[in-house]
Amino acid sequence: DGGITQSPKYLFRKEGQNVTLSCEQNLNHDAMYWYRQDPGQGLRLIYYSQIVNDFQKGDIAEGYSVSREKKESFPLTVTSAQKNPTAFYLCASSNFVGAVSYEQYFGPGTRLTVT
Amino acid sequence: AQSVSQHNHHVILSEAASLELGCNYSYGGTVNLFWYVQYPGQHLQLLLKYFSGDPLVKGIKGFEAEFIKSKFSFNLRKPSVQWSDTAEYFCAVKGSNYQLIWGAGTKLIIKP
């Protein structure tokens, strides 16, 4: 079954701790993305990667970090520098090289609560 | 700046009513347009897309959308909604760096 896996579904952390959210895809997609979803604000892009070992900041990258060491994996670390980390985080992937259409496929999301 | 505007944040309809959700975008390049849907507790999933050809595109579950280039619009329609259409709907457009630019979403509630 092809798709995107995010784990865990719910995550709780204390303020001041870094936390890493997992994202794995077996769709053989080149590009992967991390979004943050807050009520009434749509999806805001945190980081994206169009190729292994390369990634770019999105609109709200401050306080987050990523790595892309393997094509299928794109973990997101929420650092203690992120001022308002409690949110729903979505991972997505898409074709990129030679693509005709750039639709993105989404994982189930991770709801992070920081207290 | 590239942007996507969804006109209504909340829409409440009765079953069998017709639906039209507005989406306008500002982007002058090659157009890739999308509507996504997020049912309660489920993944965000693609409803339909436009990238070339017939400007009237049909998607899953009886939804359709019309690309009107002169109006920079890509409105979503369904002639008769069902209770199961209760969800949040997002419009998106491919931006200049191949990323998707998202609207704020429209929460649709269908009263049985």
Q: For A74-84, write each residue's pLDDT tens digit.
A: 999 999 989 99
Question: Residue B16: is its pLDDT beyond 90?
Answer: yes
Q: For B71-97, write each residue's pLDDT tens digit.
A: 999 999 999 999 999 999 999 998 877
Split at pLDDT 50, 70, 90, the class of A103 is confident
Return the pLDDT at A1. Answer: 60
Return the pLDDT at B86. Answer: 97
Residue type (1 letter), B103: G
Question: Residue A27: is its pLDDT beyond 90?
Answer: yes
Q: What average pLDDT does the segment A29-35 reach?
A: 95
Q: What average pLDDT does the segment B19-27 reach?
A: 93
Q: What is the mean pLDDT of chain A?
A: 92
Contact B98, B51 (CB under 8 A): no
CA distances from B10 to A55, A106, B35, B90, B107 (A): 35, 23, 16, 12, 5
Residues of A in contact with B51 (CB under 8 A): 100-101
**CB distance from B46 to chain A under 8 Å?**
yes
Split at pLDDT 50, 70, 90, the class of B99 is confident
CA distance B101 to chain A (A): 8
**CB distance from B59 to chain A under 8 Å?**
no
Return the pLDDT at A95. Answer: 85
Q: Which residue has the higher pLDDT, B96 or B99?
A: B99
Q: What tokens appear for B84 in the block?
A: 């199961």
Q: What average pLDDT does the segment A56-64 reach?
A: 95
Q: For B34-69, write each residue's pLDDT tens digit.
A: 999 999 988 899 999 998 899 999 999 999 999 999
**CB distance from A89 to chain B under 8 Å?**
no
Question: Residue A110: is its pLDDT beyond 70?
Answer: yes
CA distance B45 to chain A (A): 7
